[in-house]
Amino acid sequence: MTKTIVIGAGVGGLTAAALLLKAGHHVTVLEAQTYPGGCAGTFFHQGYRWDAGATLAGGFARGGPHFQVAERLGIKWPIHPVNPIAWTVHLPDGRAVPQWTDLESWRVEHRRAFPSAEKFWQTQERLADLSWDISSRHFPWPPQDGRDVVDLLRAIRPKTLLATPYILRTMAAIMPKDDPMLRTFVDANLLISAQATAEAANALYGSAALDLPRRGVNHIDGGMGGIAETLVNWIQANGGAVQYKQRIDKIDVRGNKAVAVHTNLHKRNKHSRRIFECDNLLCNLTPWALRDLLKGTAPPSLQRETRRRDPTWGAFMLYLGLDQSKLPKMNANHHQIVRDHTKPLGETNSIFLSISQADDPTRAPAGMQAANISTHTEVGQWWRLRADPARKAEYHEKREQYVEAMLATAEARLPGFRDAVVEILPATPVTYETWTDRPMGMVGGFAQKSILQARSPWTGLDNAWLVGDSVFPGQSTAGVTLSGMRVARKVLQ
Ligand SMILES: Cc1cc2nc3c(=O)[nH]c(=O)nc-3n(C[C@H](O)[C@H](O)[C@H](O)COP(=O)(O)OP(=O)(O)OC[C@H]3O[C@@H](n4cnc5c(N)ncnc54)[C@H](O)[C@@H]3O)c2cc1C
């Protein structure tokens, strides 16, 4: 039996693990933490079940990535649709634009909110349909080898060619230039889905991202970690293994192949150290993390890549406990708020607020609700303060400033919100590195700018692949599910 080791129980790693198990591999998933899901996990603290990062899951509609995996494995996701508003976008001019999940309601809404942009929305809808159609046919993009090129050519339909003129275009190039609120709306949406704003985000990718509210957005019962937990249960019930508290510290390489992984090498207790041999190695990691585990044996291409690439975004997060009786009335459980359209997004100027379902007793103590507020943040600034013992106080001050600024942003558009907050747990990129083992707490994968620069699962080793949001199409549970499906196919080839 082919022995496959998966480093990391994120949604991407678990999806690939389950599909390979179904195909007859002997599969072991090794996870550093005590729970699965990574950035889309749910952790328990002080009576709350907080989502570590992701709070809203798309891709469950017929043909979507989560739908396809459920069909193949015969699983039922613990989901219920977010209806009728996926989230509300609060623009700096005081308007609130609901993102309706129903297409007709959304068309009425965007005509009302952005009346001079009808042509743009028609183009966006057309490109989104093309992009979702392409992704449902498992386009191996970008091709990693000759086999991928053949598969790619097979997946092309006459309709696919309609996308060609947009391969090199940005979202900004297909948008009206004279409506700053439309631009803010689009930028805010793209930042959380493509990790880039309209100026740089690719038009095909960006159009698909703007369509997410209409593509099967769901809440997961008990928190986002339910996606990973469902996959873990399936793997364990079908003879695979998922082992926790197994942090991989080193990968052994022989003849350009990964042959074994070592766990917990840094621990003093020799008995907790283990070595797992493998025929195939799936790495649910960023390229930087993989390089660090390979140490001196990292292939030159991986070393070059990790030197060349700029750091990706990080997240500053507030985990909140809210007193239900004091919460203001809201039209949705998710709110995206932009304060000032003349300033760059992120760094507390734009926030995403998610509140657990009032009727989900598993998420919070009686009478309370769990909530998250996140903002994009540049990771380097936090590490510069953290690395210098003389600046420890500055690090804590900055953290407090972010907490206050984010709560003030929420309060500005949802008056009364601040009074409902009874519990606050902040997380910086330093915290994220500790929780997810992602170097510098870089989350969300690469910005989806030029499609020609998309990253494949290639590692430079013959039997090892990257899986997760570093691989195209990048971040989100739907995106990493596509990467998991692609890598499983690649391994089986
Ligand atoms: C603040 C925030 C908000 C987000 N919001 C959304 C959203 O609303 N909707 C959405 O779809 N997506 C969202 N995302 C993105 C989404 O969460 C991620 O893209 C996705 O979950 C990443 O999955 P992954 O497979 O790449 O693995 P990761 O989540 O990175 O998980 C990797 C796993 O590997 C483990 N690991 C790492 N190194 C080792 C090691 N050496 N040994 C053993 N185990 C190891 C980690 O502990 C972790 O469990 C958000 C992300 C963040 C940070």
Give average pLDDT by consecutive 10-residue segment, the chain, 493 residues: 96 98 98 97 96 95 94 96 96 97 97 97 96 85 91 87 91 96 98 96 95 92 97 98 96 97 77 90 98 96 96 97 96 97 97 94 96 98 96 96 98 97 98 97 94 92 98 95 96 92
Phi first, then psi, for residue 142 (nearest 5°) are -75, 150
Residue 70 pLDDT: 98
Quick one: pLDDT at residue 139?
A: 83
Ligand 1 and 473: CB distance under 6 A:
no
Residue 460 gets the label, from left (phi > 0), alpha (psi -120 to 50) or beta, of left
* 28 touches ligand 1 (CB under 6 Å): no
Same fold across 3-40+62-72+224-309+445-492 and 313-439: no
Q: Is 42 in the pocket of ligand 1 (CB under 6 A)?
A: no
Residue nearest to atom 14 of ligand 1 (CA): 54
Instruction: Report how far ligand 1's centroid is from the alpha carbon of 315 (Å).
Output: 12
Q: Would the CB of 466 count as within 6 Å of ligand 1?
A: no
Number of H helices, E strands in the chain: 15, 19
Is 10 touching ligand 1 by the criterion CB < 6 Å? yes
| Closest CA to ligand 1's atom 1 | 53
Question: Is ligand 1 within 6 A of the CB of residue 232?
Answer: no
Ligand 1 center–CA 246 separation, angstroms: 17
The rounded Å distance from CA 37 to ligand 1 centre is 6
Q: How far apart are CA 493 and CA 386, in angstroms?
A: 45
Q: Please state, in angstroms and as integers, the Cα–Cα distance from residue 196 to each residue in 30, 70, 123, 172, 480, following that order.
A: 32, 30, 20, 11, 18
Query: Is 476 a pocket residue for ligand 1 (Cβ < 6 Å)?
Result: yes
User: So what's the architecture of 3-40+62-72+224-309+445-492 in CATH?
Assistant: 3-Layer(bba) Sandwich (3.50)
* pLDDT at residue 452, as a whole number: 86
Distance 10 CA to ligand 1 centre (A): 6
Q: Whose CA is nearest to atom 50 of ligand 1?
A: 54
Query: Domain limits of the chain?
Result: 3-40+62-72+224-309+445-492, 102-212, 313-439
Distance CA 90, CA 412 (A): 10
Contact of 372 with 379, CB cutoff 8 Å: no
Rg (the chain; Cα; Å)? 22
DSSP assignment, residue 475?
S
Residue ID of nearest Cα to ligand 1 atom 16 = 476
Atom of ligand 1 nearest to the CA of 11: 25
* pLDDT on residue 453: 87
Cβ neighbours, 10 Å, residue 393: 9
Ligand 1 pocket, residue 353 CB under 6 Å: no
Distance 128 CA to ligand 1 centre (A): 25
Pocket lining: 54 vs ligand 1, CB cutoff 6 Å? yes
**Is the bond preceding 81 in cis, omega lying within 30 degrees of 0?**
no
Q: How far apart are CA 218 and CA 59, in angstroms?
A: 9
Confidence (pLDDT) at 266? 65
- Return d(Cα 12, Cα 484) in angstroms, integer: 5
Check residue 137 and give its pLDDT: 80
Residue 294, ligand 1, Cβ within 6 A: no
For the domain with range 313-439, which CATH number is right: 3.30.519, 1.20.140, 3.40.50, 1.10.3470? Answer: 3.30.519
**Residue 493 pLDDT:** 87
Enumerate the β-bridge partners of residue 455: none
Q: Alpha carbon of 384 to those of 389, 426, 440: distances in Å?
A: 10, 18, 11
Q: How much distance in Å is there from the Cα of 117 to the middle of ligand 1?
A: 35
Report yes or no: 363 and 119 within 8 Å, Cβ to Cβ: no
Spatial distance between the Cα atoms of 379 and 368, rounded to a whole number of angstroms: 32
For ligand 1, whether the C-beta of 284 sits within 6 Å is: yes
**Ligand 1: nearest atom to the Cα of 444:** 19
Sign of torsion over alpha carbons 267, 269, 274, 275: positive
Q: How far apart are the first and last CA of the chain?
A: 16
82: Cβ below 6 Å to ligand 1?
no
Q: Output the pTM of the full model.
A: 0.96
